């Protein structure tokens, strides 16, 4: 199971630029817990990694919203073990 300590922050906003002008980054425990629940229940969820797999993110992109949860290395391994499809 993915836990909040395996995440760093969440993002939700409109599609397009993710610099923060079209959405909000949040590092609170509550926001990350809600993102874990919402993303893992969504069948369209995917993950991607970078920095050799030491960092990554779970995400769902729709026509109106991007929802992203940034992961630690332990979070990436947990998501892979859960069988989430990669991008």
Q: Taking residues 41-52, what's their average pLDDT?
A: 96
> Rounded to two decimals, what is the model's pTM?
0.94
| 3-state helix vs strand vs coil in the chain, percent to 5 | 35, 35, 30
Q: Which pLDDT belongs to residue 87?
A: 82
Q: How many domains does the chain have?
A: 1
> Above 90 in pLDDT, residue 24?
yes
Structural domain harbouring 72: 4-82
Q: 12 Cβ partners below 8 Å, 6+ apart?
A: 23, 24, 26, 35, 65, 66, 67, 68
In a domain, residue 21? The reply is yes
In a domain, residue 28? The reply is yes
In a domain, residue 72? The reply is yes
């Amino acid at each position: 199971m993915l836990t909040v300590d395996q995440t760093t922050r969440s993002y939700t906003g409109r599609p397009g630029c993710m610099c923060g002008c079209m959405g909000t980054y949040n590092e609170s425990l509550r926001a990350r817990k809600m993102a874990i629940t919402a993303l893992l229940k969504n069948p369209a969820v995917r993950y991607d990694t970078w920095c050799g797999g030491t960092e990554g993110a779970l995400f769902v992109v729709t026509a109106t919203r991007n929802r992203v949860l940034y992961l630690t290395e332990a979070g990436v391994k947990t998501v892979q073990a859960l069988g989430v499809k990669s991008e």
